[in-house]
Amino acid sequence: MIDVDMVIELTGLNDIIPDIYARFRPIVRDGVSFLLSGISPERFLGIVYALSEEDTNAGRLVRLAQELPTLHKLGQTIARNQNIDVGFRRSLVELENSIMKIDKAIIGAIIEDALGNWMNKHTVEIKYTVCYEASVAAVVDFTCNRLDGLDIGEGVFKVIKPGVTEHLQQELEILDALAGFYDSNRHRYDIDNFRFIDTFSDIKIALLKEIDLSNEQRNLGLARCFYNGVEAVKIPRLVSASTDAVTVMELIIGEKITDARLTPVQRKWCAKTLFSSLVCHPLFSDQQRSIFHADPHAGNIYYCAHNGHIAFLDWSLAGELDKRDRAAILRLSMDIFTRDADRIYESTRSLSEGGIRDELAIRGEIDRFVAEASTGFIEQSLALLDRLAFKGVKFPGELLMFRKAIFTLKGVLQELDPGFDMDRHLIEFIKLLLLEELPLRWFYLFFPLAEDTLRYKSLLSNSDLIKIAQEWIRLL
Ligand SMILES: Nc1ncnc2c1ncn2[C@@H]1O[C@H](COP(=O)(O)OP(=O)(O)O)[C@@H](O)[C@H]1O
Ligand SMILES: [Mg+2]
């Protein structure tokens, strides 16, 4: 009788982790073992059966990830981290690519079931030239007859694979228990201050959003409005036939941006466009609430060579920033920029949810931060948010999501243009905005009491600007 340990041996889980990360082996092993012990006996048997169809360790590991959506998500998350060993990253990415084995009959049946009539009406034919299958969703392309009032001639269907929703519910319950288990056994692992509970809750949120197609459909609609008129940026158009079981949208013809054949000048342009549209645009939009892509890794960003557009796919994870939140974020960023410890504390307090419990600890952390040598302002702001959150400050969830999105994007920018300087581009973006706002600013310079920073897109007051200018001169 095969048991949990044997399954782990059969997948060579230990071997895929390189020696430099040997200290993580026990934690990975315990995690997978915990998951496998928690699932139902029928599912466990199903996994044993699936593994028996493969004859290499790597093949079996891929099958295991296919059967356990959470394990696959974990591998994917690690593979996107730019700070890990290159060889290890490559083997995880290869593993992920090899997962793309689509079961056409099953996917076709789900689509027919949900949209049979609509498909007949529009003479829809599934092509399978775009075929993508991951742990949760599958995407296939189709052509259709646009004469019947449809404004697209080809599109894609995105569906949730059968059984995933039920499997996931089971795994998420196990994950909660696992996070608690790790946390109370942290002395057994060599992992510094790793935040198990937080990390696991992030994975849980991401997975729950991924199975909710109607949430992504809503985000697609919002994003398309939000980016309407933004040069070179494309969001796939949602087709109204979409249901809870199938998303129907425009086909984007392009390829993963980091795989596209681009000249050095194009690469620089892409990096700049990505940064402006994914970071600056949501931060400085004049809309009350601005949507942002919360998972901008290269696989979700397409470069369309035929028209030079950049398309943002996969809106399952998105956040929204309210204008007041954005003003508070900029306030804090500005205080970090001017390295004013008291003001950083005040801005942190007003941004935090439920106030600050341990003032001394937070002030201490801020003082240490201010005393350190300064490198890269955005980089530092992100690091400080993380350090303060670690000391117990509770920041709004959307802000932490935005922080993480910038971190993910940073990896893509580095790959496209290793010399890309986020600070310089942010300042350039602000400079352009300020030029737009100059007439209004002159007026308020004479009537400062009438000034309301929320009226400016840049959300900075004249006195803020004067402070920035002074600091700028000091740094030169
Ligand atoms: N509108 C589209 N046009 C062309 N390809 C698409 C489209 N939407 C998704 N894809 C392809 O399917 C893949 C998976 O879609 P995505 O929405 O990112 O799902 P997942 O949440 O599984 O990552 C994308 O990386 C891309 O290759
Ligand atoms: Mg994706």
Examine residue 123 and state whether it is found in any structural domain, yes or no: no
Q: Which residues contact residue 474 at a Cβ distance below 8 angstroms, ignoring those fewer than 6 apart?
A: none
Examine residue 308 and state whether it is found in any structural domain, yes or no: yes
pLDDT for 193: 63
CA distances from 290 to 200, 234, 238, 385 (A): 27, 17, 19, 21
Same domain (yes/no): 192, 330: no
CB-count burial class (<10 Å; 0-12, 13-18, 19+) for 160 = buried
Same domain (yes/no): 177, 267: no
Over the stretch 294-308, which tens digit does the pLDDT of each residue have? 999 998 999 999 999
Strand 233-234 relative to strand 309-312, pairing: parallel
pLDDT for 207: 85
Whether residue 429 is predicted with pLDDT greater than 70 in this model: the reply is yes
CA–CA separation, 134 and 73 (whole Å): 9
Q: Which residues contact residue 389 at a Cβ distance below 8 angstroms, ignoring those fewer than 6 apart?
A: 395, 400
Q: Who wins on pLDDT, 94 or 277?
A: 277
Same domain (yes/no): 341, 421: yes
CA of 139 to the centre of ligand 1 (A): 6
Residues within a 6 A CB radius of ligand 1: 130, 132, 134, 136-137, 139, 156, 158, 210, 236, 249-252, 299-300, 313-314, 316
CA of 262 to the centre of ligand 1 (A): 21
Same domain (yes/no): 192, 298: no
Domain limits for position 179: 4-99+165-209
Contact between 255 and 302 under an 8 Å Cβ cutoff? The reply is yes
Contact between 344 and 370 under an 8 Å Cβ cutoff? The reply is yes
Over the stretch 436-452, which tens digit does the pLDDT of each residue have? 776 776 666 666 666 66
Q: How many CB atoms lie within 10 A of CB 172?
A: 16
Same domain (yes/no): 364, 435: yes
Quote the tokens at residue 231. Answer: 């040069």
Examine residue 297 and state whether it is found in any structural domain, yes or no: yes
CA of 343 to the centre of ligand 2 (A): 39
Same domain (yes/no): 203, 262: no
Whether residue 461 is predicted with pLDDT greater than 80 in this model: the reply is no
Same domain (yes/no): 188, 320: no
Same domain (yes/no): 273, 182: no
Over the stretch 217-265, which tens digit does the pLDDT of each residue have? 999 999 999 999 999 999 999 999 999 999 999 999 999 999 999 999 9
Same domain (yes/no): 204, 258: no
Contact between 100 and 140 under an 8 Å Cβ cutoff? The reply is no
Q: What is the mean pLDDT of the chain?
A: 86
CA–CA separation, 132 and 215 (whole Å): 20
Same domain (yes/no): 205, 352: no
Contact between 168 and 70 under an 8 Å Cβ cutoff? The reply is yes
Sign of CA dihedral 181, 187, 189, 194: positive
Output 8-17 pairs: Cβ under 8 A, ≥24 positions apart: 8/32, 8/33, 8/36, 10/51, 10/57, 10/60, 11/51, 11/57, 11/60, 11/61, 11/64, 12/57, 12/58, 12/60, 12/61, 13/61, 15/57, 16/58, 16/61, 16/88, 16/91, 16/92, 16/95, 17/88
Name the residue at shortest CA distance from atom 15 of ligand 1: 314
pLDDT for 449: 64
Mutate to test the pocket of ligand 1, among 314, 408, 412 (most ligand atoms within 8 A of CB): 314
Examine residue 405 and state whether it is found in any structural domain, yes or no: yes
Q: Which of 183, 209, 235 is the last residue of a domain?
A: 209
Over the stretch 139-164, which tens digit does the pLDDT of each residue have? 999 999 875 666 778 999 999 988 88
Q: Which residue intervals of 243-358 are DSSP H helices?
A: 264-275, 281-284, 323-338, 341-351
When divided into structural domains, the chain yields a total of 2
Which atom of ligand 1 lies at the shortest distance from residue 137's CA? 22
Whether residue 375 is predicted with pLDDT greater than 70 in this model: the reply is yes
Q: How confident is the model at residue 25 (pLDDT cuts 50, 70, 90)?
A: confident
Q: How confident is the model at residue 470 (pLDDT cuts 50, 70, 90)?
A: low
Whether residue 346 is predicted with pLDDT greater than 70 in this model: the reply is yes
Same domain (yes/no): 373, 459: yes
Name the residue at shortest CA distance from atom 27 of ligand 1: 132
DSSP state at residue 276: I
Same domain (yes/no): 363, 461: yes
Sign of CA dihedral 85, 422, 371, 356: negative
Whether residue 474 is predicted with pLDDT greater than 60 in this model: the reply is no
CA distances from 26 to 32, 45, 188, 202 (A): 10, 24, 9, 22
Which atom of ligand 1 lies at the shortest distance from residue 216's CA? 17
Q: Which of 177, 209, 241 is the last residue of a domain?
A: 209
Residue appearing with tokens 């117990």: 392
Examine residue 472 and state whether it is found in any structural domain, yes or no: yes
Examine residue 126 and state whether it is found in any structural domain, yes or no: no
Contact between 200 and 186 under an 8 Å Cβ cutoff? The reply is no
Examine residue 170 and state whether it is found in any structural domain, yes or no: yes
339-365 b/e (C-beta count within 10 Å ≥ 16 → b): bbeebbbebbeebbeeebeeeeebbeb
CA–CA separation, 89 and 258 (whole Å): 15
CA–CA separation, 78 and 51 (whole Å): 23
17 SS3 class: coil
Examine residue 403 and state whether it is found in any structural domain, yes or no: yes
pLDDT for 90: 80
Quote the tokens at residue 22. Answer: 């040997």
pLDDT for 476: 44
Q: What angle do CA 448, 335, 394 make, to 5 degrees?
A: 115
Which atom of ligand 1 lies at the shortest distance from residue 134's CA? 22
Mutate to test the pocket of ligand 1, among 73, 132, 219, 246 (most ligand atoms within 8 A of CB): 132
CA–CA separation, 77 and 134 (whole Å): 13
CA–CA separation, 406 and 413 (whole Å): 10
Residue appearing with tokens 């949730």: 160
Strand 301-304 relative to strand 154-160, pairing: unpaired
DSSP state at residue 238: B
CA distances from 333 to 340, 346, 459 (A): 11, 12, 12
CA of 21 to the centre of ligand 1 (A): 31
